[in-house]
Structure 1
């Protein structure tokens, strides 16, 4: 490689690594200077509404209500199921004793959450998906963290997938833990989180990424978003490649739209929130993958005379092979699964960018009945 080409490759490699290497290490280095504080249990447990938005969840909603009731929460507990234009789910939830709010027509998850928070009987609201299983005392851990002054929401921790996917979620957990030690995190997950009703502002009708919007909206108004890794929930993998691709590209494309709507927070004046947005979300979703693609182009044009370029391309070939093998149901060693997951997420980024540029914001997406 010529000196100029080597410098270009180095610059592109650094750009590609910002979201998944440079930013996480920088946040970790900063967080090490802050002492981790474990939140104690409150002297008196507040009353809580567990809000479960549900659509086509007739087969799992009874188990969900039972899981919430057996979670060990020591205070008063209301289970509120918002059936999003789904009488079947509403009937089953009501038959097992949940309070049910049946919306007359399907409005999408964001608007179901708006209706549920408005109807909640209590000021502390825990949001949880119908197909997720809460680990024991997850509600208590969330509530304890939420009672910290200035905290508007608390993110729980999702355990999903295996191999490369599970490794990625553990990496995300580490990043969120470090962000939270600095003051706030973007990593709110709609599968399990807690919010204060006093801090809630209705989600706009054009927003599909409810959790990301909630986090940014709270931080824009001065609230912190905490992270409680002990509040665990398990969610089964979505399964088929087509379903996973649809969900992940929809989420990423919707996230880019949220950042455009909240673009004021990208300005350096927003401080920590701006740094987290650029490092954790925007660069990782746009400039990083584009730099990665350009780096592949440089490697391909240099492969005939550079061993490093050939090794780089061979690594991508292995990752692509591992990804195809996994989709065909074959067993792949852990390093191959991790490489496949990295490649898959880069591809998802391009799919998400395309959907965002096309204005493809699906508010009521197709989903299989459970």
Structure 2
């Protein structure tokens, strides 16, 4: 029984550290750093206006092209220094034809669909601007987003800058909208602290930028291209910075099934990324970056979901031995665990209902995320995740 108790606390520590503990440690480290070097600030040179390319991969995005181009052209950045470029490999719904109707918009089209990263690899050698900004076709950027991202590159140590992904939040949301929105708010906080301590560990594909010269051609079967591209910049000795005021807005997934589909793909890509970026696990070489990478990403995609599963039989066995009606710590934790899973069941029942009390969906969304990791791992092992991605349906 003592061995079971030790096992439980090891499992509990890993889960707690992954989702709460790392945030607490990160906050303390950032506060300590501020005592010695002060709070870091974003670049603030308004005269820094290099040429930039806004590169937008698009597959059958005709419904979004008009608003995306108009939104891009409305950016607070000199029009003669902003090149808008669409890559539309495989699109057959009129996306490239519609984009070409706008003067000054470059369209690189290939009739054969080989996946997003193949399209990016094909076009990146043609980019001549010193900075390239990647953005999705179905997201809208804040008016200052490009200017704010570009300004971060006034620091020569910065090789990549990530913007913030914002989910349109409604007063009443379903499980998908509420869970996704809360998740990204928490992620944004962690990213701000990660960046202040050292470097963000991965950029969001909705909006991020790199120094063009640092781009490394990515394997054609890569699932999380944004993650791989940004961290390979970090591997070259540069930092990934984060500006939450440079943001991309999109609606939440239409429902939990659509969000689960997206999460499973991300999880399969996460396992793939851990394998391909395995040198980043060398904490002696990459030091703080390795610590952040393992704490913020690797544990979520590998060990922690397994720990959550194992905690159920381990804690149940201990609680039965202690007595289910006793007041021992393990019994209290057992009932707390049971209530959490019952809360997830309530979320399942209410998943497609719009509610004001969004916290009701937190247990359900949390378990769905970890279930997606298990499914993603299975999909990675079976090589059953296509690089060609059908965009998840979004809420109206």
TM-score bracket for this pair, using the shorter chain length: over 0.9
2:315 aligned with 1:299, yes or no?
Answer: yes
Alignment match, 2:376: 352
Q: Partners in 2 of 1:367 and 1:213 — Cα distance?
A: 20
5+ residue gaps, structure 2? 169-176, 325-330
Alignment match, 2:162: 155
Compute the displacement of 1:310 (Å): 2.1
Q: Partners in 2 of 1:361 and 1:169 — Cα distance?
A: 24
Q: 1:284 aligns with which of 300, 303, 308?
A: 300
With 131-140 and 284-293 compared, the bigger mean Cα shift is at 284-293
Q: Partners in 1 of 2:293 and 2:98 — Cα distance?
A: 40
Q: Is the 8 A contact 1:323 1:344 kept in 2?
A: no
Q: 2:364 aligns with which of 337, 340, 351?
A: 340
Q: Partners in 1 of 2:101 and 2:354 — Cα distance?
A: 42
Alignment match, 2:174: none
Q: Partners in 2 of 1:57 and 1:225 — Cα distance?
A: 29
Q: Is the 8 A contact 2:210 2:230 kept in 1?
A: no
Alignment match, 1:320: 345
Q: Partners in 2 of 1:36 and 1:210 — Cα distance?
A: 29
Alignment match, 2:101: 95
Q: CA RMSD in A?
A: 2.0
With 317-326 and 124-133 compared, the bigger mean Cα shift is at 317-326
Alignment of 1:85-164 (within 5 A): 85-87=90-92, 88-97=94-103, 98-160=105-167, 162-164=177-179
Q: Do the aligned partners of residues 186 and 368 (structure 1) sit closer, same or farther apart at CA in structure 2, a change above 3 Å counting?
A: closer
5+ residue gaps, structure 1? none
Q: Is the 8 A contact 1:146 1:194 kept in 2?
A: no
Compute the displacement of 1:121 (Å): 4.1
Residues 259-290 of structure 1: CA deviation (Å, up to 9, x unaligned): 10121111222212211221111111221111
Residues 333-359 of structure 1: CA deviation (Å, up to 9, x unaligned): 222122222222121221222222222
Compute the displacement of 1:48 (Å): 1.4
Q: 2:63 aligns to what SS in structure 1?
A: coil
Q: Is the 8 A contact 1:158 1:234 kept in 2?
A: yes
Alignment match, 1:41: 45
Scaled by the length of structure 1, what TM-score is found? 0.93
Q: Is the 8 A contact 2:259 2:392 kept in 1?
A: no
Compute the displacement of 1:302 (Å): 4.3
With 32-41 and 86-95 compared, the bigger mean Cα shift is at 32-41
Q: Is the 8 A contact 2:261 2:392 kept in 1?
A: no
Q: Partners in 2 of 1:149 and 1:226 — Cα distance?
A: 12
2:210 aligned with 1:195, yes or no?
Answer: yes
Q: Partners in 1 of 2:59 and 2:207 — Cα distance?
A: 17
Q: Partners in 1 of 2:106 and 2:301 — Cα distance?
A: 39
Q: Is the 8 A contact 2:344 2:364 kept in 1?
A: yes
Scaled by the length of structure 2, what TM-score is found? 0.87
2:33 aligned with 1:26, yes or no?
Answer: no
Q: 1:39 aligns to what SS in structure 2?
A: coil
Q: Partners in 2 of 1:333 and 1:319 — Cα distance?
A: 14
Compute the displacement of 1:222 (Å): 1.3
Compute the displacement of 1:300 (Å): 3.1
Compute the displacement of 1:128 (Å): 0.6
2:335 aligned with 1:310, yes or no?
Answer: yes
Compute the displacement of 1:115 (Å): 2.5
Q: Is the 8 A contact 2:224 2:270 kept in 1?
A: yes
Q: 1:223 aligns with which of 234, 238, 241?
A: 238
Q: Is the 8 A contact 2:43 2:154 kept in 1?
A: no
Q: Is the 8 A contact 1:268 1:275 kept in 2?
A: yes
In the comparison of the two structures, how many residue pairs are matched? Answer: 368
Alignment match, 2:58: 54
